[in-house]
Structures are given as C-alpha cells and as structure tokens.
Structure 1
C-alpha cells in the first residue's frame, strides 16, 4: 500500500515518528494507504523551512506571487482527473461530484486570490493630521488546519489567501483524508514552487495539530472543523495572543413557506444529502409551513428514498458512504437516539450495503415528531439525516430557526420579498440563502456566529486576516 510522506522545504521527507496511520477506502471499509502519524519535530522542521523561505516570498510583489498561484492552479487543472480520482477514492464521494464541483472550486480558489493579491488593501489619508498611509504586511509563518469532508477544496480555501498575502504556510490536512494534500505538494514540487513556502505536515490532531497551534513562531491559525476542537484551539491562541479564525459546526435551518418556488423541493433534497450530509452548510432542520407540510413531506420523503446509493465510479450514484467507521457509528447512534426521543423514521434509518460493498453506507434518513430541543435537533450529526418540523407563522419559523447554539447558515424559501429580507436580517447565522443553496461569491465574507465560528474567511476578509495593518504618519505641520 502507498505510504505518503511529510512535505517540508519542497521535498518529501520521512516523519521523525516512524509510525503510520491507516487511510481507509470508505466504500470497502478497508485501508489502502498509510499516512505519517507525525510529531512536534515534524512541525518544528516545517516552521524552520517556512521561516527560511519567508524573506524572499514576502518581498515579492503581489503580481509575482499571483504568477505562482496561477501556475499552481494551471498545474492542478492539467491534473484535474488525477485529483478527482484521488479525492473520490479517499472520501467515497461520487466521482461526478468531485470532478464537476470540488476540484474546479479548488482551482478557482487559487485563481481568485491570485487576482486579489494584486489589489492593495492599503489606504492613504491626509489633511486632518499629516499624511497617513496604511501597510498590510504578512504575518510570517501561519498554520492552516483543514477538515476531512471537503479535503482539497477547503485546504486551498485557506492556503490561497495565506500565500497571496505573502505568508509561508504549514498546512495540516485531516489524517482521515490526506491523499489530495499529498498530491498537491507533489504538484507544487513539479512546477518548482519556491521551497519552504508551502509545507504539508500530515498526522493526527493530537500530535501535529496541537504542536502547530501552540508553536510560538506560528503567528496565526485558520481552522475548519468541529466546535469541540475549535474551543481548544481558541484557548491556546488566546493564551499567546495569536490570530485565529474558526469555522466550526452547523445545524442549519431551511424555512419553507407556502409560496416557496417550484425548485425548492429538488434543491433542499440536494442541500440535505449532498456528500452524504457531510457539509457544514447542509440543511439538516427543515421547517415547513403547516399549510403545505403534509404534501411537502410526502414529496421530500419520496425524493430522498429514490436517491441512488452506490460506488463513486458509478455515474448514477448520488450518495456515497460516510467517511470513517467512527463517524458511521456516530450517525447510526443519533438515529437510534431519535427513536428513543420519540421520532418517527419516515425513510432510511439503517446502514445499507449497495451492490455488495461493505463500507460505511447509511440510507438517507428523514425523521419527524421531534421537539426542537431534542439532542437530535441540537447536535451537529454531519450525516445523511434530517428532521422535519411544522410552523404556523413567520414568527414561529424565526424562533425555530434561531433555537440552536449554532449559527452558520440558513436558507429561506419564499416569493415574498419583504418576508425574505426580514428573515435574512433576523436569522442568527453568517450566511442566508434566499431560494437557493450553496451559491458562493468568493468576494463575500464567510463564517458563522455562536458556536459555529469566530472571524470570517473569503475575499478581502481573508487577506486582512493573514496580514497585520500598520499606520505610517508623516507630519506636515510643525510639532507642538
């Protein structure tokens, strides 16, 4: 089986810890590769390489860094089929989903921030108190920690602005899905990307992640993952006064009103079950006006039941497995909990073995008759499971939507423009979609409220995070 390495100073290196972690194929439930367990020594080596590369990289002009990011985007595009096959095998996702959406979005991340870094954040002011101008300078060495659900897509979402701003980066991908990060590092080496600017350190969160977050020479951490881990990272960064942005969990409501447009049902089925529900933006609490509840429920359950579960290589597959055995058991335990809490299973509710595959497949599951304060409706489950709830009026819909400790995303389905604006203003979350889902303009800020996050990514917000503003004042009047 393949064994991947650490990528430090532009070349593959053996980990100082000789142990390896198995990388599983979720379709078959068996290991097919090995990832280094990693150690704090690996992080130290990567930080040293990044510090050595930093002066030259940070002194490049924005247009020079843009050329490198575009070259990397070009190289990924040339190898897009290899990246798609790699990501699909590592995650169990339908190949079409990876090929058509996730790899193109990873490429777009590099291209967007290549363009953005040629546009200055700096400003100048005069007349009030001398001549003042601001510099937005890179921080130095920064760390990015990305999750297992969208491995390359979310890794590049962090890497691209950090590099564009002039920082050198230590990236820690998930040990569950490490393979596309390794392919990215190999691709960077092949095009001669400056050594030490981009370092990939593989390993567990307990070793590599903790060492990266606590390292005194790492000036910022950008993290996407669970709220539990995010809390721990925030505490360490606060103790060091280290910059941090956290994109964490979600329990996202979808509000369906009587005048919802015709495409609502089809889009919400996708919003609930795409990537087997393993997207932080999935709509997992579907709130439906009581006047249309029965009809909408029937149609939604029928559509969910008809989703094809299967292997990623099958062009007809719409749902693959969940990505690890512990997560598989977690999702099934929540379904069992819903039964205990009095929920009615309308479809799904069980593990399945499509076409004889023995991996971690769970049927799309729809549940009703649960109170909003049940654990099933409050905890982020992150699987192909949703709950349905009826509401009687706008105020109740809003109250149910906000009855969560999370505040990442929501969608509102109505043709009433005044209602749409009111809901968007009063729902407590970082992004509200009106009559759509997962449309993203990379110029806009992205992040959550409450237990869903701290800080914002995307657009100029990301470049601001990865830089430090400095004001320079030139006196134009005599002192005193």
Structure 2
C-alpha cells in the first residue's frame, strides 16, 4: 500500500508522515494551543536505529492549567445561544468528514503500535517502519516490550532522563476498513447529532390557578466537564462525550486513553477552523492513575463522564465522593445472545458472529455468551463455527481482513489465559486459539493476533461465563426453557446488553422485560437511535447517555416560580 497523500492540509505537519523531514510533536492542548511544558514524544519515519524525542514526566499542573483554561472560557461559551453552538458543531463534523481517510488510517495505526509509559502516544505512519517508543529508565534489562527484546538503555540527551529506541513492526489492531466505516463516520456524526439535539429541547411549565402561580424549569450548563475515554473506540467514544458537553454549554478537559491518543490530538487541530474558542476543549495526555485521577479529584471539575472498566469506575466513585460530583459511568458487559428454536438461523448466525468478533471483540457491546435452544443447538454450533473460521485475521491495510491484532501484549495474554482456564475446567475449544493455525504473513508473526475462538461445554460458574474477556472469544451453551435461559442470562454481575432471536412477538416482550440489561436487541445487533438512552444496569454502569439523558447530565435544572 503506497503512502497516502493527504487530502486534508488542515492537519498540517502531523500528516506529512509520507514525506521526509523533521519529526512532529504532539502535546497537550490548552487554550487552543499546545502547552509549553506539555508531554511530548517525537516520531520519525527515518532509520529504525534512529533515536528520537523525549518527554518530561507528568505534572499535575498540566491538569490544573487545563482546568483553569476551561474555567476561564466557560462564561463566554455558556452564554452563546444554542444556535451559535450548533453551527460550530456542524462545522466541526464537516471538517472531520473531510479528513475521513487521514483519521481512519491514524485510528488504525494508533490502536496497536503503542506507547509511551505516560504522556502521549506516537508512532510513525510509514507502513513498513513503525516507531516503537519505550521509556527505559527504571527498567531492568533485558526487557521484553511488545514482543521485542530491549538489551540496553540508550543515552539520548544528557539533559533529559528519558530515552526511547525505535523498532520496526506492523501490529496495529483495528482494521482501516472498520475505522473508515465505523469509528470516524460516527465520530463526526456525534457532533452533528448533538448540533441538532440542542435545538429541540423544551422546558416544563405548570399553572396553579388557585394560587395564581406559574412554575417553569430552566436548565443551565454545569461548568467544566472532565471526560475520560477508553482505547477501543478512541475518537468515537471521545466525541460521544465532547459533543454533548460543549453542545449544552459546558467546557471540557478530556483525557483520552494513553494507549490511543493520536486522533484526539488530530481533532484538536480542527477546532479553531470550526470556530471553537480557545479553552472550550482542552486535552491532557497521561495515564489513568496520574492524569485521570488528578482530573477526577480536581475541585473545579464538578462533573465526570467515564467509559472504561468497572474496577476503575469504583475508584472514581471513591475519589470523587468527597466532592459530590455528578458521575456518568459506562462500564463493562458480559452480553448474552438468546437464540430460540424458531429463529431465522441464517440471519442469526451472520449477525451473532459479527457481534462476537467485531473489532477483535474489543467492544463493550460484543456478545460473549450465546445460549441456543437444544432443538437447534447442534445445527447452530456447526454453522457458527464454519462462519467464524471464515473471518480473516490480518494486517489492517489488508482490505479483506475481518480482524486485526489485539491492543497489547498484556491484553493478548489476558484473553489467552481465559481460554487456558476454560480448557483446565474441561471445556472444548472448537476453533481459534490453540486449535487452528494463525495464517498471517511471516513479517507479522510477532503481532498480537488471535483467531476467533469458540468454546463449549462450560459451566455457568466458569470464569469465561462470568467475567468480561474483551477479546475474540465467545461461549456457546444449550438451554431447554425460556425460564431457564433468562435465569442464566441474568446470572452475572453485568447488565449492559443482550440480543434475543425469535419470531414470536409475545416472547420478545416477555423476555426483554425480564432481562437485566440496559439494551435488548431483537433479531439484530448494534442498531442505535441516539435519541434513546444508552447504558447498563448493575456493574455495567451508572446513568445513561443519549439526547435527553446527556442533556440532563450535562445541565443543572432549576424550578422558577412566579406569583402573578
């Protein structure tokens, strides 16, 4: 695949990766520009042996400065009319769409090349040369990093304490096709959707005739919103938070995942052209325990929106409790698919394979438990495994690839450990990990690739049936009755999503009502109306997102009474 020529000069030096020239830095974005003391790493597509860049350690003052900038910008931004803010959001959506290919390639490259230990993530966008950045100070050598052996630290600059070595390996996870058709279009649409939504909200009003009083409500922006997004759908989920926050008049300090920060920085290069005033959107880069916790604990950030793990959310609740902050927490899932004997098998298998393995199974809404009525269990199992084997695992630049690599070596090992535990418990792996050979080009053998994996003969108490795996692994279990499968589907701590496959409309309503899930799809998967609530029950989250729900979260309501 030849280097892309940028059709989006707005992205500036970042998008000159296909040209020779000086390295380009990424930095935190505050007041519309880069902070002087921001975390920086430089990348280059030059020789693999070339050592580039450095970054200072994380300072809490980065978060303090970002919050100060957001706080200063809040009065003017919140005073703008909904129509003015709407026009700016529409413009930003247009700009992202105009750079679709650049963003898609960046999202694919970013999700898997990895990473500085703290600060931001950078890598070369050359197809054959990838800049692997490693902070070596404090490590014992040799060190295995992303499947590569580092034998010694390198002295780069006597004035800094951090150094990196450049390695080559193409092992990014998200396919370009997935980023091009899902991540980036939805990222732009998030701004477009909320640009429209802010124009259509109404207030409540009541009249008390006996007392000659009228009551009505008004909603006002909360202030500085702290937004923390995950690595699996980087720009998609970051914009799902930024768009409603600024649409409803707040200013933001956002912390994207330290693993996948590039497209967040690219988006910020478009803010000025879209008309977003300085300080309205601020981005800080760093790890969760440092940058994220500093944001959560900041006294001038009254509202936190987080998408990520349940364990991290518990810490956010603990740390934010003394400040009585508003929280929106979108967390993990252990999502069941329930397939009754009258289901349309052809459509069911096609969709359930997709719901199990899309984006390498690294989506909180992916299906990881499949319950099949015994009358069709054997037929379903055979056809499902055949369909799963047809999913091609390959490099993201391969247009025929259905899946890329997982996000990291640690995550790959975690997912594999679940398969190993299942085998130790007596389960059977029908295809995938440990059964089929991984057919990928030899130059990519060191990447974090894993085949779609199907496991059967598991007990409900098995960790594979109870815990979120977040990888291309699904478990298939037979069931007899409607009552039995509802009990099994509800028998986990999570309650995010479920799918039900049946032609019986009465059964659809009965089962959907009894399932402990925030979303229930019937005879489909991942069809969303953004006007309606999104979120989970139990350990899958706190609060909801969507047009009305996001409006209520990112604003405060007050009741005004007038006696006349």
- Normalised by the length of structure 1, the TM-score is 0.94
Q: Select which of 146, 165, 177 maps to 1:96.
A: 177
SS of aligned partner of 1:126 = strand
SS of aligned partner of 2:379 = helix
Alpha-carbon spacing, 1:359–1:75, altered in 2? closer, same or farther (3 Å):
same
SS of aligned partner of 2:441 = helix
Instruction: Please report how far the alpha carbon of residue 334 of structure 1 lies from its aligned counterpart in structure 2 after TM superposition.
Output: 1.2
Q: Which residue of 2 aligns with 1:110?
A: 191
CA contact (8 A) 1:36 1:203 kept: no
Q: Which residue of 2 aligns with 1:329?
A: 413
Q: Which residue of 2 aligns with 1:61?
A: 81
Distance in 2, matches of 1:163 and 1:337, equals 45
Is 1:11 the equivalent of 2:33?
A: yes
Q: Select which of 407, 412, 431 maps to 2:519.
A: 431
Is 1:74 the equivalent of 2:72?
A: no
Distance in 2, matches of 1:20 and 1:413, equals 49
Q: Which residue of 1 aligns with 2:129?
A: none
CA contact (8 A) 1:308 1:317 kept: yes
Is 1:124 the equivalent of 2:205?
A: yes
Distance in 1, matches of 2:360 and 2:376, equals 26
Instruction: Please report how far the alpha carbon of residue 120 of structure 1 lies from its aligned counterpart in structure 2 after TM superposition.
Output: 2.8
SS of aligned partner of 1:75 = helix
Q: Which residue of 2 aligns with 1:167?
A: 250
Alpha-carbon spacing, 1:15–1:321, altered in 2? closer, same or farther (3 Å):
farther
Q: Select which of 338, 363, 384 maps to 2:451.
A: 363
Alpha-carbon spacing, 1:37–1:450, altered in 2? closer, same or farther (3 Å):
farther
Is 1:48 the equivalent of 2:132?
A: no
CA contact (8 A) 1:46 1:201 kept: yes
Alpha-carbon spacing, 1:33–1:382, altered in 2? closer, same or farther (3 Å):
farther
Q: Which residue of 1 aligns with 2:530?
A: 442
Q: Which residue of 1 aligns with 2:288?
A: 205
Q: Select which of 268, 272, 278 maps to 1:189.
A: 272
Instruction: Please report how far the alpha carbon of residue 188 of structure 1 lies from its aligned counterpart in structure 2 after TM superposition.
Output: 1.2
Provide, for residues 82-129 of structure 1, a one-character-per-residue CA deviation record: whole Å limited to 9, x for no partner: 111110111221111111122111111101100111123422221255
SS of aligned partner of 2:506 = helix
Q: Which residue of 2 aligns with 1:26?
A: none
Q: Which residue of 2 aligns with 1:264?
A: 348
Q: Select which of 300, 303, 311 maps to 1:220.
A: 303
Instruction: Please report how far the alpha carbon of residue 369 of structure 1 lies from its aligned counterpart in structure 2 after TM superposition.
Output: 0.7
Matches within 5 A, 1:73-472: 73-91=93-111, 92-127=173-208, 130-261=213-344, 262-350=346-434, 352=438, 354-356=440-442, 357=444, 358-472=446-560
Alpha-carbon spacing, 1:20–1:36, altered in 2? closer, same or farther (3 Å):
farther
Aligned length: 469
Distance in 1, matches of 2:545 and 2:54, equals 31
Distance in 1, matches of 2:52 and 2:449, equals 18
Instruction: Please report how far the alpha carbon of residue 15 of structure 1 lies from its aligned counterpart in structure 2 after TM superposition.
Output: 4.1
Higher mean displacement: 317-326 or 115-124: 115-124
SS of aligned partner of 1:354 = coil
CA contact (8 A) 2:216 2:561 kept: yes
SS of aligned partner of 1:74 = helix
Distance in 1, matches of 2:222 and 2:559, equals 15
SS of aligned partner of 1:362 = coil
SS of aligned partner of 1:212 = helix
Alpha-carbon spacing, 1:315–1:387, altered in 2? closer, same or farther (3 Å):
same
Alpha-carbon spacing, 1:35–1:292, altered in 2? closer, same or farther (3 Å):
farther
Distance in 2, matches of 1:173 and 1:134, equals 34
Runs of 5+ unmatched residues, structure 2: 1-22, 44-50, 112-172
CA contact (8 A) 1:176 1:324 kept: no
Instruction: Please report how far the alpha carbon of residue 353 of structure 1 lies from its aligned counterpart in structure 2 after TM superposition.
Output: 6.3
Provide, for residues 350-396 of structure 1, a one-character-per-residue CA deviation record: whole Å limited to 9, x for no partner: 48461121211011110011101111111101000010100001111
CA contact (8 A) 1:348 1:363 kept: yes
Provide, for residues 154-192 of structure 1, a one-character-per-residue CA deviation record: whole Å limited to 9, x for no partner: 111111110111000001100111111011111213444
CA contact (8 A) 1:408 1:429 kept: yes
Provide, for residues 267-312 of structure 1, a one-character-per-residue CA deviation record: whole Å limited to 9, x for no partner: 0000000000000000100000011111100111111112101011
Distance in 1, matches of 2:425 and 2:57, equals 39
Alpha-carbon spacing, 1:191–1:68, altered in 2? closer, same or farther (3 Å):
closer
SS of aligned partner of 2:368 = strand
Compute the RMSD of aligned alpha carbons: 2.1
Alpha-carbon spacing, 1:378–1:2, altered in 2? closer, same or farther (3 Å):
farther
Q: Which residue of 1 aligns with 2:563?
A: 475
Alpha-carbon spacing, 1:341–1:121, altered in 2? closer, same or farther (3 Å):
farther
Distance in 2, matches of 1:35 and 1:153, equals 27
CA contact (8 A) 2:60 2:291 kept: yes
